[in-house]
Amino acid sequence: MKKILAVGIIIAAIAWTGLLPAQEAKGPKITAREVQYDSGKVVQGTLVSHVFEIRNEGSAPLDIERVQSS
Protein backbone atom coordinates (compact mmCIF):
# COMPACT_ATOMS: atom_id res chain seq x y z
CA MET A 1 0.00 0.00 0.00
CA LYS A 2 2.83 2.41 0.84
CA LYS A 3 4.54 1.64 -2.50
CA ILE A 4 1.37 2.51 -4.42
CA LEU A 5 1.07 5.77 -2.52
CA ALA A 6 4.75 6.60 -3.14
CA VAL A 7 4.43 5.87 -6.87
CA GLY A 8 1.30 8.04 -7.03
CA ILE A 9 3.09 10.92 -5.34
CA ILE A 10 6.06 10.62 -7.73
CA ILE A 11 3.76 10.60 -10.79
CA ALA A 12 1.87 13.62 -9.45
CA ALA A 13 5.14 15.48 -8.83
CA ILE A 14 6.39 14.74 -12.35
CA ALA A 15 3.10 15.87 -13.89
CA TRP A 16 3.07 19.02 -11.75
CA THR A 17 6.61 20.04 -12.75
CA GLY A 18 5.84 19.58 -16.43
CA LEU A 19 8.27 16.78 -17.12
CA LEU A 20 5.61 14.77 -18.89
CA PRO A 21 5.20 15.64 -22.57
CA ALA A 22 2.53 18.29 -23.12
CA GLN A 23 -0.51 17.36 -25.15
CA GLU A 24 -1.25 19.64 -28.07
CA ALA A 25 -4.57 21.40 -27.89
CA LYS A 26 -7.10 20.22 -30.44
CA GLY A 27 -9.10 22.69 -32.46
CA PRO A 28 -8.33 25.79 -34.50
CA LYS A 29 -5.18 27.82 -33.86
CA ILE A 30 -4.91 31.27 -35.44
CA THR A 31 -1.46 32.66 -36.24
CA ALA A 32 -0.31 35.87 -37.91
CA ARG A 33 3.13 37.11 -38.89
CA GLU A 34 2.23 40.60 -37.73
CA VAL A 35 -0.60 41.71 -35.48
CA GLN A 36 -0.50 45.46 -36.08
CA TYR A 37 0.41 47.87 -38.84
CA ASP A 38 1.36 51.55 -38.57
CA SER A 39 0.64 53.48 -41.75
CA GLY A 40 2.32 56.61 -40.41
CA LYS A 41 0.94 60.04 -41.22
CA VAL A 42 -1.76 59.94 -43.87
CA VAL A 43 -3.38 62.91 -45.58
CA GLN A 44 -7.14 62.94 -45.09
CA GLY A 45 -8.95 61.28 -47.99
CA THR A 46 -6.00 59.07 -48.96
CA LEU A 47 -6.83 55.38 -49.34
CA VAL A 48 -4.66 53.17 -47.14
CA SER A 49 -4.66 49.39 -47.32
CA HIS A 50 -2.63 46.59 -45.81
CA VAL A 51 -2.87 42.81 -46.03
CA PHE A 52 -2.52 40.66 -42.92
CA GLU A 53 -1.68 37.02 -43.52
CA ILE A 54 -3.76 34.86 -41.19
CA ARG A 55 -3.20 31.10 -40.97
CA ASN A 56 -4.94 28.26 -39.22
CA GLU A 57 -2.30 25.93 -37.80
CA GLY A 58 -4.80 23.93 -35.78
CA SER A 59 -6.52 20.64 -36.40
CA ALA A 60 -10.06 22.02 -36.90
CA PRO A 61 -11.60 24.65 -39.17
CA LEU A 62 -11.10 28.27 -38.09
CA ASP A 63 -14.21 30.44 -38.36
CA ILE A 64 -13.57 34.19 -38.41
CA GLU A 65 -16.91 35.78 -37.61
CA ARG A 66 -16.14 39.43 -36.80
CA VAL A 67 -13.34 41.75 -37.89
CA GLN A 68 -12.90 45.33 -36.68
CA SER A 69 -10.45 48.03 -37.59
CA SER A 70 -9.37 50.77 -35.25
Q: Which residues pair with 30 in a beta bridge?
A: 56
Residue 63 CA to residue 29 CA, distance in Å, equals: 10
Q: Are 41 and 63 in contact (CB under 8 A)?
A: no
Res 20: pLDDT = 57
Res 65: pLDDT = 92
Res 55: pLDDT = 94
- Rounded mean pLDDT, 43-61: 93
Summarised one tens digit per residue, pLDDT across range 16-47 is 666 656 666 789 999 999 989 999 999 999 99
Q: Domain segments of the chain: what residues?
A: 2-56
Q: Can you give the pTM of this predicted structure?
A: 0.49
Mean pLDDT of the chain: 83
